[in-house]
């Protein structure tokens, strides 16, 4: 089997008979076993995957043609999968087997995809390093050149999905992004990750973290795969009241199209004070875009510094409400240690949730409490509106897309991350949360390597439902970056 197969390579291979879906699935399952130390997966059901691959092979032999027919994908363990355990990285859901399929995974199944495993993630998608999972940390498959002994984080919360794509344990994966959880791990892992416009992908059947911010999206080996995956995942769903009924263009049509005349905004609030490596990366990308006929325009988005504090009020507020359903009664973990109903609630929640989740519940409950609601939550919502207006008035009235780094730094050590304060960890999202707060689509493209030999990502943020523009420009960046060549220089574990 060739390494690092993309969706179109797999489709060609399946069609020409070079390999079958069963052979491909077995190949990945074997690799997943050999690389089990990375801890990228929480649940693997090999038998079910092989059965699905067999069914796909039958369809292929009959000449059926679906965009993902027979393609093995990894699924973040936040998407409910009928009959397959879905934990959200938590002890609370460690025994939860959903009776239903999430809309996004159903869409992928309808397009012929095969699921080879449920990927590791930060508990309830809360984190930036995949170290809060009840199932243990997940590791980046790369090492720093200067300290090869150090184990690195893949980013979070979709760390398992990022690692499984980067280590070639699947063709592509799903993730979710509430404040950066697709883009940040994509940047650390040298792969593509897109968070679509809020409302493009249905949230139905996704374990809820902060419902007004959560969005599903793909993590893939290249831009073309991201377009194919998003096409399949997206779509109106009447089971999600925030799903938008819009006409979705064929994203593949936009790859390779001219970007001449497109206006690319650089906001000084996203670039002042960034490290030298990010400065150089941004300069390179600017040059490529100018060469392709784009116009670079300086803009200012003054509300940028408020997005992170606003996020850390709104997200915990919604989380505290969403997570109230885990009470040890209806489903999920139940403590054995109780004498009355109060103790049942208290002990089930105390034992079932990890430290970070408890911190968010406490913060959220506090900012929603009668005495502090106006001072924190209501104020945060007002500032959220100002941030949205800022994008509208000071960015998308003058430019088409915003270009900025995805993360302030590259992947850090697992041990180092356990010593970080919560606020230090939260600062990882400083360039990504803004898109969530404003509901905008944003992508991370692998674009360069740091001096230490680790991947660096560049972020492109678009206007609402302008995913096609993002793909068009990202494709040019991808071609100019030649990341396939850079990937060969990364030190693998
Ligand atoms: N790192 C952020 C947090 O911990 C974002 C998480 C996410 O996007 N799911 O909240």
d(Cα 182, Cα 231) in Å, to the nearest integer?
17
Predicted pLDDT at 348: 98
Q: Which atom of ligand 1 is least distant from the CA of 426?
A: 1
Ligand 1: which of 179, 185, 194 to mutate, most ligand atoms within 8 Å of CB?
A: 179
Residue 327 domain-assigned (yes or no) = no
**pTM more than 0.95:** yes
Pocket residues: Cβ below 6 A from ligand 1 = 125-128, 157, 177-181, 209, 315, 429
**Residue 227: CA atoms inside 13 Å, Cβ hemisphere, count?**
22
Residue 354 domain-assigned (yes or no) = no
Predicted pLDDT at 218: 99
Predicted pLDDT at 129: 97
Q: Which atom of ligand 1 is least distant from the CA of 128?
A: 1
Ligand 1 center to residue 306 CA distance, Å? 16
Predicted pLDDT at 418: 87
Residue spans of the chain under pLDDT 50: none
Ligand 1 center to residue 157 CA distance, Å? 6
Give the pair of three-digit tokens for residue 246.
């819009």
CATH number at residue 169: 3.90.1300.10
Residue 313 domain-assigned (yes or no) = no
Determine whether 176 is an active site residue. no
Predicted pLDDT at 257: 98
Residue 267 domain-assigned (yes or no) = no
Determine whether 76 is an active site residue. yes
123 alpha carbon, distance to own chain's centre = 14
Residue 211 CB coordination number (10 Å): 16
d(Cα 224, Cα 230) in Å, to the nearest integer?
10
User: Of the residues 49, 76, 158, 195, which is catalytic?
Assistant: 76
Give the pair of three-digit tokens for residue 112.
């012929």
Residues in the chain: 493
Q: What residue numbers bound the domain in which 14 lies? A: 7-259+407-492
d(Cα 438, Cα 267) in Å, to the nearest integer?
16
Q: What is the DSSP string of 140-208?
A: -SEE-SS-TTS-B---SSSHHHHHHHHTTSSSEEEEEESSSTTHHHHHHHTSEEEE--TTSS--TTBPP
User: Of the residues 21, 102, 158, 181, which is catalytic?
Assistant: 181
Helical residues (DSSP H) of 252-292, grouped into ranges: 268-271, 276-291
Predicted pLDDT at 252: 98
- Cα first-last separation, the chain: 21
Ligand 1 center to residue 126 CA distance, Å? 5
Spatial contact of 29 and 44, defined as CB atoms under 8 Å apart: yes
Residue 392 domain-assigned (yes or no) = no
Domain count, the chain: 1
Residue bearing the CA closest to ligand 1, atom 10: 126
**Residue 442 DSSP one-character state:** E
Residue 84 domain-assigned (yes or no) = yes
In this structure, are strands 72-76 and 263-267 parallel, antiparallel, or unpaired?
Answer: unpaired
Determine whether 348 is an active site residue. no
Q: Could you report the per-residue pLDDT of 376-414, keeping only the tens digit for each? A: 999 999 999 999 999 999 999 999 999 999 999 999 999
Predicted pLDDT at 465: 98
Residue 196 CB coordination number (10 Å): 27
Predicted pLDDT at 30: 98
Ligand 1 center to residue 142 CA distance, Å? 22
Helix axis angle for 355-368 and 307-322, nearest 10°, is 100
Residue 317 domain-assigned (yes or no) = no
In this structure, are strands 192-195 and 442-449 parallel, antiparallel, or unpaired?
Answer: antiparallel
d(Cα 57, Cα 63) in Å, to the nearest integer?
10
Residue 348 domain-assigned (yes or no) = no
């Amino acid at each position: 089997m060739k390494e690092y197969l993309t969706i179109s390579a797999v489709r060609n291979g399946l069609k020409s008979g070079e390999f079958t879906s069963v052979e491909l699935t077995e190949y990945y399952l074997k690799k997943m076993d050999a690389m089990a130390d990375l801890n990228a997966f929480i649940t693997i059901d090999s038998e079910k995957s092989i059965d699905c691959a067999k069914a796909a092979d039958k369809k292929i032999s009959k000449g059926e043609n679906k965009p993902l027919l027979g393609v093995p994908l990894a699924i973040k363990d936040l998407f409910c999968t009928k009959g397959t355990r879905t934990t959200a990285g938590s002890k609370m859901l460690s025994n939860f087997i959903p009776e239903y399929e999430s809309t996004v995974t159903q869409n992928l199944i309808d397009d012929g995809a095969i699921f080879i495993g449920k990927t590791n993630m930060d508990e309830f998608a809360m984190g930036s390093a995949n170290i809060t999972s009840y199932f243990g940390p997940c590791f980046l498959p790369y090492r720093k050149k200067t300290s090869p002994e150090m184990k690195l984080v893949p980013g979070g919360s979709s760390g398992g999905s990022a690692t499984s794509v980067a280590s070639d344990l699947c063709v592509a994966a799903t993730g979710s992004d509430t404040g950066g959880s697709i883009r940040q791990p994509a940047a650390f892992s040298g792969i593509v990750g897109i968070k679509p416009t809020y409302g493009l992908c249905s949230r139905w059947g996704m374990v809820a973290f902060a419902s007004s911010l959560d969005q599903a999206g793909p993590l893939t080996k290249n831009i073309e795969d991201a377009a194919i995956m998003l096409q399949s995942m997206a779509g109106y769903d009447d089971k999600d009241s925030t799903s938008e009924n819009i006409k979705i263009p064929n994203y593949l049509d936009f790859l390779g199209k001219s970007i001449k005349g497109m206006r690319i905004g650089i906001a000084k609030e996203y670039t002042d004070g960034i490290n030298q490596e990010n400065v150089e990366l941004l300069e390179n990308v600017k040059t490529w875009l100018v060469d392709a006929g784009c116009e670079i325009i300086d803009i200012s988005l003054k509300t940028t510094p408020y997005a992170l504090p606003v996020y850390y009020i709104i997200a915990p507020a919604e989380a505290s409400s969403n997570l109230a359903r885990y009470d040890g009664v209806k489903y999920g973990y139940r403590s054995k240690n109780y004498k009355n109903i109060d103790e049942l609630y208290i002990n089930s929640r105390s034992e079932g949730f990890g430290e970070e989740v408890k911190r968010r519940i406490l913060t959220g409950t506090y900012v929603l409490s009668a005495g502090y609601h106006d001072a924190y939550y209501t104020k945060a919502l007002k500032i959220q509106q100002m941030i949205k207006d800022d994008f509208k008035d000071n960015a998308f009235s003058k430019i088409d897309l915003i270009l900025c780094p995805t993360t302030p730094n590259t992947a850090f050590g697992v041990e180092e991350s356990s010593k970080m304060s919560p606020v230090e960890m939260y600062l990882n999202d400083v360039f990504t949360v803004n898109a969530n707060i404003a509901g905008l689509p944003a992508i991370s493209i692998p674009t360069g390597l740091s001096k230490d030999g680790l991947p660096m990502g560049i972020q492109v943020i678009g206007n609402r439902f302008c995913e096609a523009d993002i793909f068009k420009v990202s494709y040019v960046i991808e071609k100019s970056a030649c990341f396939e060549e850079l990937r060969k220089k990364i030190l693998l574990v």
